[in-house]
Structure 1
Amino acid sequence: MELHVVIHGRKDLGEQLYTQLREAIESGRLAAGTRLPPSRLLAEQLGISRRTVSDTYALLTYDGLLIGKVGSGTFVNARGARALPRPSAPALASAAAIARWQNIVVPFLHPQLAGALRCEFIGGAISKNLFHQDDWRSCTQHALRQMARERGFYSQPEGLTALRDAIARYIAFARGVNCQADDLVVCSGAQQALDMIARVLIEPGCTVAMEDPGYTPARLLFVALGARVVGVPVDADGIQVERIPADARLIYVTPSHQFPLGMPMSLARREALLEAAHAQGALIIEDDYDCEFRYEGRPTDSLQSMDTRGVVAYVGTFSKTLLPELRIGYAVLPPAIRPAVIKAKQLTDWHTSTLPQWTLARFIAEGHLLKHIRRCHAVYASRRERILQRFAGDLATWFEIVPSTAGFHLAVLCKVPLNIALLVELAHKVEVGLYPLAPFFHDSPPRDGLMIGYGAIETLDIDPALDRVRDILEQIT
């Protein structure tokens, strides 16, 4: 890679080179420790004499900006970069659009390592020590060998055939989803799947219906694309279908494990939802975000497996089963929208990185995914049981549990008036991360309570953490 230096004409060559290198070093563009090209190579690149480059290097070394290391080369010396004035923001014609995006309050930003609390009841996070790195590493080596055989072309936007086939087999086995590899599109997480589907369906001013309370990032995405989002109340059976607006063209639901309350949608409500969507020409997005973990009762059908009219797009992710950083999700799309979504995927990022795609395809094919889910299931079931016992025991004075059979978070609602904001603040001071339910409500009156995630907290930390929560509750009530 060539060093960016521009030489004009044939005069003052050394001065031009010296000025540009000094400015690059002092501004921080050339960071401390950066190795400069050998004088011969830089001279060839710039079309000037090697002596001019050598003299410039010597002068910068004398000034303390460069340092020569015998046998290694010439490096930028360690010294503070000079802060350069930043250009002022111009008055752009798109200022209103920029402000609309800038003012979006994005939820669910997970804490970085330095800011994480000892006991985190955050939702959507997992315990990394449950993930077998050796199995993944072996599959990554296979993926690198596969990529080495490929020519230097971009991959297909819908994802590698090997991965789509593996996912199709897996979700048919685990969730009864009725699909083939050709029905799938691989995405960079479930959020991109939602974005692509929404892009091809939503026009400014159109109506989108979603559960209320519901998954806030989905609502914000639909709003950002110009939709009028209507929150539809939920009850013990799921979304209240009769209250879905008649002009809704997109309906977003989480039927297997309602987010954030946790109850599954009843069979009768599922049938009513499918009928309503067909009658008004709407498409349903079924977000099956943590369907792999079920602890009680009989399995329930996915909406997609019940769909005989092509009105359901099924969205899943491996962020909850493997690693959040992996960023691989997928969408099983009905024929009416699949070609358009593939075009949207190609225009967005062309295709998801193929290295993790090859790796995951191998990981699934060799049975590692199912073994990993079984390991996690045993751990999560133990954590869930302990949390249920505590909220049915000494914490029952303040909270009641919303019945839930799946996933790795629970919702608890306040039985008595509580200052949830104060509880969260005081818990944070004793290294316990708690998260309120109220931000997930939009049109419906918010209910006070907590979302209790048990994917990230270690099993032995649950009782000490809940002891601290109980002590705080006793102080503030």
Structure 2
Amino acid sequence: MELHLALDGRQDLAGQLYRQLRAAILDGRLAAGDRLPSMRFLAERLAVSRKTVGEAYERLVAEGFLQARVGSGTYVSSQLAPVEHPPMPTAALQANPRWRAIAAGWRMPAHRPARYSFAGGTPDKRRFPFDAWRTCLQRALRLQARSPAFYAEALGNPELRLAISRYLAINRAVRCHWQDILVSQGAQQAIDLLARVMLTPGDLAVVEEPGYPPARLAFEAAGARVLGVPVDREGLRVDCLPEQAKLVYVTPSHQFPLGQPMSLPRRLALLEWARRRQALIIEDDYDGEYRFDGRPLESLQSLDREGRVAYIGTFSKTLFPELRLGYLLMPAALRGELTVAKQLADQHSESLQQLALAHFIGSGAFAQHTRRLQREYARRRQLLLRRLAGDLAPWLEALPAVAGIHLAARLRQPLDCTRLCAQLAERGVLLLDLAPFYAEGPGMPGLLFGFGAIEAQDIDPALDILHELLRQH
């Protein structure tokens, strides 16, 4: 093991070494059962004689701190009780007040393990083809081993950017060139980069109400004033947009969290508003790959003729969240600034996963995987809708949604959603309350049903528990 030891001068070297090793054991840095470096190795490392190290070890063995095992080495005594560390004293440090307010206002629900999980925005990792992914990673490792050791391109691996641009053009009808793609650490980093580049303290940013809390907080972190504009059955109320807003963040394919798509007239009206106000639109297409009813509507980006839409997406909803890869289709006017912002943030996204994902998409494995999930999610969605229109109908009404991997349901009767969700959690059911997604006052009472993480055969048993609790309420 590597252990930090620093000897001062040449006096009492064995004593210094003894005291430092003893302190490391008492502090818990060396735990019971840990193997210490050999006397020869430690002597060479500290430029002292083996006799000096031997004296320190022998003293610690005699006092019961160490055990010498013939032919094996020297170990921290297994008889020592685990060390309990007192809490570190709180330093008198003051964070930026803006960040203190953001930390205090963080309301994004935590995804806790549960027997029946209706967690929103979580895909089915159990159906991900890890064997095919392993092959892609092995290929990426071979490529990296042959490449020179240096930082990669800030905007991302060209092969992956090309694969993303082709995918967006074919599957999402998005007009783009691969050189306009920035590979980000998930969609959240893309939002953060746009906030840094576009906003100065005091600017006004608009988000949907209800909406995605981390987007609002990213704009607040940049110093912006943030206003929530209500949504209705056609999406964002464009007629409620303030004149002086500098950017608008929307989820037009599958409004988060309510689920409705933005109508074509609203999309055109939003583009016209942005043209008149010289504003930026951030279009977050976070799970639009999965569509179940009706004809797909054109993206805002595909309707944009002036370069006012920044289109972002993520692979967290199609592959698995830990991958942390997303993309940003940059407006031409912001490309230079966004490139520098990305370099300052993290130089570039992790390159091994980028190489693997490029091959995963190019080989057709990505399209095959999403087609399989589309069929499975459609089955789960129908099971959920059947129950919401059946025995759960006296209490809940499913809101219209044609895409994505979650549904929202409005409460028909006055109930304490917070208490209901807590009781469900006690019974092993994770279900989210809509309240945390409203930032500017009480909103529509309801529940969010994610169907990406729950198996089809578990939906009815979980909803039976919900039905039982609703009857009690």
Aligned position for 1:158 = 155
Alignment of 1:10-29 (within 5 A): 10-29=10-29
Q: Cα 1:164–1:400, aligned 2, differ >3 Å: closer, same or farther? A: same
Aligned position for 1:42 = 42
Aligned position for 2:325 = 328
CA distance, structure 1, for counterparts of residue 66 and residue 163 of structure 2: 54
Shift of 1:444: 6.0
Question: What do residues 93-141 of structure 1 show as CA deviations (whole Å, max 9, x unaligned)?
Answer: 5474563344232413222xxxx22111110112222111111111111
Find out whether 1:244 has 2:245 as its counterpart: no
Find out whether 1:338 has 2:338 as its counterpart: no
Alignment of 1:136-151 (within 5 A): 136-151=133-148
Aligned position for 2:352 = 355
Aligned position for 1:109 = 110
Alignment of 1:119-268 (within 5 A): 119-268=116-265
TM-score by length of 1: 0.94
Name the aligned partner's letter for residue 416 of structure 2: N
CA distance, structure 1, for counterparts of residue 326 and residue 158 of structure 2: 15
SS, match of residue 286 in structure 2: coil
Name the aligned partner's letter for residue 265 of structure 1: M
Shift of 1:224: 2.5
344-353 or 95-104, larger mean C-alpha shift? 95-104
SS, match of residue 6 in structure 2: coil
CA contact (8 A) 1:212 1:444 kept: no
CA distance, structure 2, for counterparts of residue 42 and residue 388 of structure 1: 67
Find out whether 1:432 has 2:429 as its counterpart: yes
Q: Cα 1:70–1:311, aligned 2, differ >3 Å: closer, same or farther? A: farther
CA contact (8 A) 1:232 1:239 kept: yes
Q: Cα 1:281–1:30, aligned 2, differ >3 Å: closer, same or farther? A: farther
CA contact (8 A) 2:102 2:217 kept: no
Aligned position for 2:459 = 462
Shift of 1:453: 0.7
Shift of 1:71: 4.3
* Structure 2 spans left out of the alignment, 5+ residues: none
CA distance, structure 2, for counterparts of residue 259 and residue 102 of structure 1: 22
Find out whether 1:304 has 2:305 as its counterpart: no
Percent of paired sites with the same residue = 50
CA distance, structure 2, for counterparts of residue 282 and residue 251 of structure 1: 8
* Structure 1 spans left out of the alignment, 5+ residues: none
Q: Cα 1:65–1:162, aligned 2, differ >3 Å: closer, same or farther? A: farther
Q: What is the Cα-based RMSD across aligned positions, in Å?
A: 1.8
Shift of 1:440: 1.2
CA distance, structure 2, for counterparts of residue 30 and residue 154 of structure 1: 36
Shift of 1:74: 3.1
**One of 308, 314, 318 as aligned partner of 1:317:** 314
Q: Cα 1:305–1:35, aligned 2, differ >3 Å: closer, same or farther? A: farther
Aligned position for 1:273 = 270
SS, match of residue 285 in structure 1: strand
Alignment of 1:367-378 (within 5 A): 367-378=364-375
CA contact (8 A) 1:27 1:81 kept: no
SS, match of residue 409 in structure 2: strand
CA distance, structure 2, for counterparts of residue 387 and residue 96 of structure 1: 44
CA distance, structure 1, for counterparts of residue 372 and residue 314 of structure 2: 18
8-17 or 99-108, larger mean C-alpha shift? 99-108
Aligned position for 1:66 = 66
Alignment of 1:56-95 (within 5 A): 56-78=56-78, 79-83=80-84, 88-92=89-93, 94=95
Shift of 1:33: 4.2
Shift of 1:49: 1.0
Q: Cα 1:160–1:108, aligned 2, differ >3 Å: closer, same or farther? A: farther
Shift of 1:267: 0.9
CA distance, structure 1, for counterparts of residue 176 and residue 70 of structure 2: 63
